[in-house]
């Protein structure tokens, strides 16, 4: 198949415009998430965090990381998890759910998703809100979490606020073993 000079130029121009548009969109998204840092992105008063809509709340774990991550995942993706035991079991316990994709490995980061750390007696889960990319690699992670301080309660203005870390520091300090994301479901 031969392309004419005119068609080749058109293709190159369209590719350039798509690339510029994507870069501008990514920069705008990062700027928007930067503006949200330190603010609560979740609607904590919504049913996603109440006992009738959150299995962790029903079990008495309001204020724990599992309570928050369960609610935020459902709030953002519309997919309630089928299980939400101790955080360290979330990856393995959610593998068989056909609505989800479970990714093992710290570098498999995606958004929106739940990042799971199996470190410690109970592990820890946090919600990945957005990930900015640089040269095709994760650059900055925007995430929310609850009970990082271990006090077992939800503290307004401290828990569930958007936090930002460079990807390497996110991996170093939050120690994710994998991620849980919702599959794109056909209607």
| pLDDT grade for 185, boundaries at 50, 70 and 90 | low
CA 80, 140, 145 angle in degrees (round to 5)? Answer: 40
Rounding to the nearest 10 degrees, give the CA dihedral for residues 130, 174, 80, 156.
-80
Kindly tell me the sign of the dihedral angle through the C-alpha atoms of 47, 52, 56, 59. Answer: positive
Domain boundaries, the chain: 37-182
pLDDT of residue 134: 95
pLDDT of residue 10: 42
- Could you tell me the CA-to-CA distances from 20 to 11, 34, 88 in Å, in that order? 14, 21, 41
Distance CA 95, CA 103 (A): 9
Distance CA 67, CA 147 (A): 10
Distance CA 52, CA 104 (A): 31
Nearest to residue 82, comparing CAs of 176, 187, 182, 184?
Answer: 182
| pLDDT grade for 68, boundaries at 50, 70 and 90 | very high
Q: pTM value? A: 0.86
pLDDT at 4 over 60: no
Q: What is the pLDDT of residues 79-103, one digit of tens each?
A: 999 887 899 999 999 999 999 999 9
Q: What is the pLDDT of residues 114-153, one digit of tens each?
A: 999 999 999 999 999 999 999 999 999 999 999 999 999 9
For domain 37-182, give the CATH number. 3.90.1720.10
- Residue 89, classed as helix, strand or coil, is helix
pLDDT at 14 over 90: no
pLDDT of residue 184: 82
CA 159, 107, 61 angle in degrees (round to 5)? Answer: 30
């Amino acid at each position: 198949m031969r392309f004419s000079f005119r068609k080749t130029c058109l293709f190159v121009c369209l590719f350039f415009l798509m690339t510029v548009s994507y870069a501008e969109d990514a920069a705008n998204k990062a700027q928007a998430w930067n503006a949200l840092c330190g603010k609560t992105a979740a609607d904590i008063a919504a049913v996603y965090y109440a006992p009738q809509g959150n299995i962790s709340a029903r079990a008495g774990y309001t204020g724990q990381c599992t309570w928050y991550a369960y609610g935020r995942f459902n709030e953002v993706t519309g997919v309630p998890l089928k299980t939400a035991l101790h955080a360290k079991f979330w990856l393995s316990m959610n593998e068989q759910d056909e609505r989800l994709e479970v990714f093992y490995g710290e570098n498999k980061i995606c958004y929106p998703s739940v990042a799971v750390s199996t470190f410690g007696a109970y592990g820890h889960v946090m919600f990945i809100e957005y990930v900015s990319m640089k040269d095709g690699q994760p650059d900055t992670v925007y995430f929310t979490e609850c009970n990082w301080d271990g006090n077992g309660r939800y503290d307004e203005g401290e828990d569930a606020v958007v936090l930002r870390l460079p990807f390497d520091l996110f991996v170093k300090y939050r120690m994710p073993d994998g991620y849980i994301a919702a599959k794109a479901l056909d209607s």
